[in-house]
Amino acid sequence: MTLRANWSYPTAVKFGAGRIAELAEQCQAIGLKKPLLVTDKALASLPITLAALDQLEAAGLGRACFSQVDPNPNETNMEAGIAAYKAGGHDGVICFGGGSALDLGKMIALMHDQTMSVWDLEDIGDWWTRADASKIAPIVAVPTTAGTGSEVGRAGVLTNSVTHKKKIIFHPKLLPAVTICDPELTVGMPKFITAGTGMDALAHCLEAYCSPFYHPMSQGIALEGMRLVFENLPKVYANPNDLEARAHMMAAAAMGAVAFQKGLGAIHSLSHPVGAVYNTHHGTTNAVVMPMVLDFNRATIEEKIIRAAAYLGIEGDFDGFRSKIMELRSTLAIPENLSAMGVEAARLDELTGMALEDPSCGGNPVEMTRENTRALFEACL
Ligand SMILES: [Fe+2]
């Protein structure tokens, strides 16, 4: 009997426009008295962040903010955050922002009082049991983009600044105690971030849907998540103030992250090394390699994609689905290929090695080898 798996479904989500007004109340409900708000440099001075800090201060929770977070956060950012957490005597972390801020905030909550290295908690087997779970701080997540889905996930991505490798750090207690999904917070995103993060949500749904593992709940969520992205990402790109479409994108992002418990694949295993070496935007990089990865997996996923196309109202089976993605990419001004993102052919061997070490590669429907992965990279140039 192969129908055997371990499943978890995510955290409490307070979903809806304007619900950021509940931030202080939700922090108090989980017992926080002095949270540290972790965000990124760009967000730190924006009105949405200042309003959140004002609200915390008015409720007697202080207004501590740490924002030294790089776009692909690394252990140096984490150590600085831990120093701020300890110096301020904090009792929990509010992860406020896009994927980078959410993931780094989680790392600070995880590592502020552990004795082992963060790299010993990589998402491999039961390595997470090495952490002292009683010393992980409670997390409140507030996404301001719609893509990563980290707000409903139990992991964070951290880049090793020495090896330039991205590692997935996992612990069940990284699941936020509460998440506030307020689509109004995403209205001010720059256009290319709306596009890139939205394509990350699509990549999560698509890769989860295509992964070979048995998880029919995730399968259904992934399919509906794709529908929400196809229908709403062009709307929010054309009209950033379309709040209803913003809400659907925010739901799709959370759904993508719930779905990818089922597995990711070659889109992410290619995108992670490219992002680590060239500091490219994660979701945009996913969008660049997506059509080539579909071709790469075609023989194995064609039937599944035909079923998806039927549900999504896309004509033309597999080719129609691929064309729909190409159309979406051009609507969103996604670069044509990895060369346009600055990736050099001379580094393909190195990138191939890194892709094969990436944990996402195990969920790809077609087994990834040195030879076929290098050829896939070449097709993406
Ligand atoms: Fe992703």
Flag whether 1 is in a domain.
no
> 352 and 273, same structural domain?
yes
**For residues 301-309, average pLDDT:** 98
> 57 and 127, same structural domain?
yes
Which DSSP string corresponds to 46-60?
SHHHHHHHHHHHHTT
Say which residues have a Cβ less than 8 Å from residue 215's Cβ, sequence separation at least 6.
5, 7, 261, 262
Residue 126 has pLDDT above 90, yes or no: yes
Q: Which domain holds residue 208?
A: 191-380
- Cα of 282 vs centre of ligand 1, distance in Å, is 7
| Cα distance between residue 277 and residue 326, in whole Å | 26
- Cα of 121 vs centre of ligand 1, distance in Å, is 20
At residue 2, the pLDDT reads 66
- Cα of 363 vs centre of ligand 1, distance in Å, is 14
E strand or H helix at 77: helix 75-87
* Number of domains, the chain: 2
| Cα distance between residue 320 and residue 311, in whole Å | 13
pLDDT band per the 50, 70, 90 thresholds, residue 282 = very high
- Cα of 201 vs centre of ligand 1, distance in Å, is 7
Flag whether 7 is in a domain.
no
At residue 255, the pLDDT reads 95
| Cα distance between residue 292 and residue 377, in whole Å | 9
What Å distances lie between residue 122 and 127, 141, 168, CA to CA?
A: 7, 21, 6
Which DSSP letter does residue 150 get?
A: G
- Of 186, 205, 238, at which residue does a domain stop? 186
Helix (H, G, I), strand (E, B) or coil at 178: strand
Mean pLDDT estimate for the chain: 95
- Of 186, 213, 228, at which residue does a domain stop? 186
- Write out the two tokens for 233: 């990402």
Flag whether 36 is in a domain.
yes
- Cα of 55 vs centre of ligand 1, distance in Å, is 31
β-bridge partners, 94: 37, 140
For the stretch 320-370, pLDDT in tens is 999 999 999 999 999 999 999 999 999 999 999 999 999 899 899 999 999
Flag whether 86 is in a domain.
yes
- Cα of 150 vs centre of ligand 1, distance in Å, is 9
> 44 and 136, same structural domain?
yes
| Cα distance between residue 122 and residue 171, in whole Å | 9
- Strands 139-143 and 178-181 turn out to be parallel
| Cα distance between residue 177 and residue 18, in whole Å | 20
> 91 and 196, same structural domain?
no
